């Protein structure tokens, strides 16, 4: 009995979900389709160069929400096919033109437009059927309960049943029960079919998947190269720093051993030097370990690690963190060092006297923004280290966006898809 109730409850839930989603489908998709077409028509006038990226962003967020619902409600995975923006994107009007051209050249943009058409027509019809077959039977039952008397002097059609008496009201109720059974059977498949229809337009094509594989292969090679370079740096730091100090300490201790009876005063001085040298070697080793994986990151998580970074800045900083859990250790490490490099860039190049850091997780994305009130003018191709940050994030399928008009402010936004524990 409990399993039957559970199945009925899940079918009714599918109907409620279809009812709620139908408003997004008809109102949201229609509005965005009209806005996108209007924006595109204004591109020759120059206005569309400003509005098209904004409208496209709204469309993509709308499509991404449908992807998440497809996965959560029907188990249908729809990959994100959008091309990443070039690393050397410029700012100003030229940059805006390049951004619009990049969007219009992306096949996924036009597939989103096709999906909007499907969503507000065939997709909407499927949703209406999913919840309509559960709601329409209620009318048949109400007619049989006595509402037929209102139409006693006239004929009211319930589907194909003319209702004007108690007998025809009972026929309407029987039809309603049949439709209710049909609705309970079809609500979940119809909702799933809606998402399958969305996948036909929103999923990447084989050519896009091939390009995606090439991009991931490239980022993997870059990650391997970066790891090898980091190992060489660690080896060099150990050889030139702590190892050299330890060797010198060994030689000093040998000298002290020879002097301890002949010249105790000199031996005492050399012991003090050896102690100072050991403290410096320990400090260097701690700094080296902190550069590999900061203890505060492992112990306290990304939020506190970023706060500790901000406290070491030579100017005022504000950090806002909203993380209900922790990401995987490699993701946290990549995000931490990306923030560290961004803050270092702000200190070296921006001329800022204040920085704001925002870290939060929403919609399956770890989003981090670092904003400073400096002179601006930062771009991906000026050797500022932003390219290295993008490669670091690309290893985890993350993206980097930079907004830095001349005169400031500069905002660096990072997104990494991940789940929190």
In a 10 Å sphere around its CB, with 0-12 CB exposed, 13-18 middle and 19+ buried, how is residue 137 labelled? buried
Q: Which of the given ranges, 4-8, 122-126, 313-317, has the highest pLDDT on average?
A: 122-126
Max CA distance (Å), the chain: 129
Question: What DSSP character marks residue 170?
Answer: H
Note the pLDDT of residue 228: 59
Helix 206-237 with 386-394: angle, nearest 10 deg: 120
Going from the C-alpha of 258 to that of each of 189, 272, 298, the distances in angstroms are 89, 16, 45
pLDDT at 47: 79
| Per-residue confidence band for 361, with pLDDT thresholds at 50, 70 and 90 | confident
Q: Quick one: tokens of 320?
A: 């806002």
Q: Which residues touch 408 (CB under 8 Å, ≥6 apart)?
A: 350, 352, 372, 373, 374, 375, 376
Whose tokens are 């059977």? That residue is 185
Report percent pLDDT > 90 for the chain.
11
Q: What is the model's pLDDT at position 136?
A: 81
Mean local confidence (pLDDT), 402-409? 79
Q: Which of 33, 9, 247 is nearest to 119 (CA)?
A: 33
Q: Which range has the worst mean pLDDT, 10-14, 120-124, 126-130, 322-326?
A: 10-14
**Interval 273-283 mean pLDDT:** 73
Provide the pLDDT for residue 98. Answer: 77
Number of helices and strands in the chain (H, E):
14, 7
Q: CA 124, CA 180: separation in Å to the nearest integer?
A: 20
**What pLDDT is attached to residue 214?**
66
pLDDT value at residue 62: 92
**Better pLDDT: 371 or 279:** 371
The two structure tokens encoding residue 217: 């292969």
User: Residues 133-137: contacts with CB within 8 Å, 24+ apart?
Assistant: 133/15, 133/179, 133/180, 133/182, 133/183, 133/186, 133/187, 134/12, 134/15, 134/180, 134/183, 134/184, 134/187, 135/15, 136/176, 136/179, 136/183, 137/176, 137/177, 137/179, 137/180, 137/183
Domain locations in the chain as residue ranges: 1-204, 227-292, 297-417
> Which tokens in the block code for residue 14?
């599918």
State yes or no: pLDDT of 175 exceeds 90.
Answer: no
CA distances from 419 to 24, 127, 183, 364, 400 (A): 26, 30, 35, 6, 19
Q: Which tokens hold the place of 114?
A: 């096709």
The residues near 192 (Cβ < 8 Å, ≥ 6 apart) are 74, 76
**Whole-angstrom distance, CA of residue 388 vs CA of residue 393:** 9
| pTM for this entry | 0.53
Query: Which residues pair with residue 135 across a beta bridge?
Result: none
What is the predicted pLDDT for the residue at 236?
A: 64
Report residue 197's pLDDT band, with 50, 70 and 90 as the boundaries.
Answer: very high
| Exposure of 75 in the CB half-sphere (CA atoms within 13 A) | 2
Structure tokens at 52: 């098209």
Task: Measure the CA angle with vertex 238, ends 235 and 240; round to 5°.
Answer: 105
Q: 217, exposed or middle or buried, with CB in 10 Å at 0-12, 13-18, 19+?
A: exposed
**Which pLDDT value is given to residue 287?**
60
* Whether 277 contacts 248, CB under 8 Å: yes
The two structure tokens encoding residue 107: 């096949």
3-class secondary-structure state, position 263: coil
Return the CATH architecture of domain 297-417: 2-Layer Sandwich (3.30)
Of 318, 304, 71, give the one whose Cα is nearest residue 195. Answer: 71
- Output b/e per residue, 183-193; b: 16+ Cβ within 10 A: bbebbbebbbb
332 or 250, higher pLDDT = 332
Cα radius of gyration rounded to whole Å, the chain: 32
Instruction: Tokens for 290, please give them.
Output: 């902190």
Count of Cβ atoms closer than 10 Å to residue 116 Cβ: 24
* Res. 116: pLDDT tops 90: yes
Backbone angles phi, psi at 247, to 5 degrees: -65, -45
pLDDT of residue 299 exceeding 90: no
pLDDT band, residue 264 (cuts 50/70/90):
confident
Strand, coil or helix: 129: helix
């Amino acid at each position: 009995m409990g399993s039957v109730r559970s199945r009925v409850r899940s079918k009714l839930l599918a109907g409620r979900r279809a009812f709620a989603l139908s408003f997004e489908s008809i109102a949201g998709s229609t509005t965005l389709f009209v806005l996108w077409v209007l924006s595109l028509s204004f591109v020759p006038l120059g206005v569309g160069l400003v509005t098209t990226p904004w409208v496209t962003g709204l469309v993509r967020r709308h499509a991404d929400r449908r992807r998440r619902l497809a996965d959560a409600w029907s188990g249908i995975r729809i990959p994100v096919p959008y091309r990443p923006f070039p690393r050397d994107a410029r700012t100003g009007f030229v940059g805006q033109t390049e951004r619009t051209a990049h969007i219009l050249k992306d096949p996924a943009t036009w597939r989103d437009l096709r999906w909007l058409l499907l969503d507000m027509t065939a997709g909407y019809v499927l949703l209406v059927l999913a919840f309509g077959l559960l709601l329409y039977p209620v009318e048949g039952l109400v007619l049989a309960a006595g509402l037929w008397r209102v139409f006693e002097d006239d004929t009211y059609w319930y589907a194909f049943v003319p209702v004007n008496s108690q007998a025809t009201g009972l026929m309407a109720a029987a039809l309603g029960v049949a439709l209710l059974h049909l609705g309970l059977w079809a609500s979940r498949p119809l909702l799933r079919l809606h998402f399958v229809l969305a996948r036909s337009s929103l999923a990447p094509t084989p050519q896009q998947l091939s390009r995606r594989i090439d991009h991931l292969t490239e980022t993997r090679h870059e990650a391997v190269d970066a790891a090898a370079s980091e190992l060489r740096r660690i080896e060099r730091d150990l050889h030139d720093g702590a190892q050299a100090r330890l060797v010198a300490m060994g030689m000093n201790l040998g000298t002290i051993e020879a002097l301890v009876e002949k010249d105790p005063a000199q031996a005492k001085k050399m012991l003090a030097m050896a102690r100072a040298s050991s403290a410096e070697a320990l400090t260097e080793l701690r700094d080296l370990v902190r550069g590999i994986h900061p203890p505060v990151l492992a112990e306290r998580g990304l939020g506190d690690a970023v706060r500790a970074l901000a406290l070491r800045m030579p100017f005022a900083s504000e950090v806002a963190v909203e993380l209900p859990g922790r990401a995987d250790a490699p993701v946290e490490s990549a995000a931490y060092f990306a923030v560290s490099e961004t803050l270092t860039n702000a200190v070296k190049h921006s001329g800022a006297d204040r920085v704001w850091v925002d870290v939060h997780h929403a919609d399956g994305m770890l989003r981090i923004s670092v904003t400073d009130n400096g002179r601006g003018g930062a771009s991906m191709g000026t050797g500022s280290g932003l390219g290295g940050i993008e490669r670091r994030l690309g290893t985890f399928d993350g993206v980097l966006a930079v907004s830095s008009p001349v005169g400031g402010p500069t905002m660096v936004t990072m997104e990494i898809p991940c789940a929190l524990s």
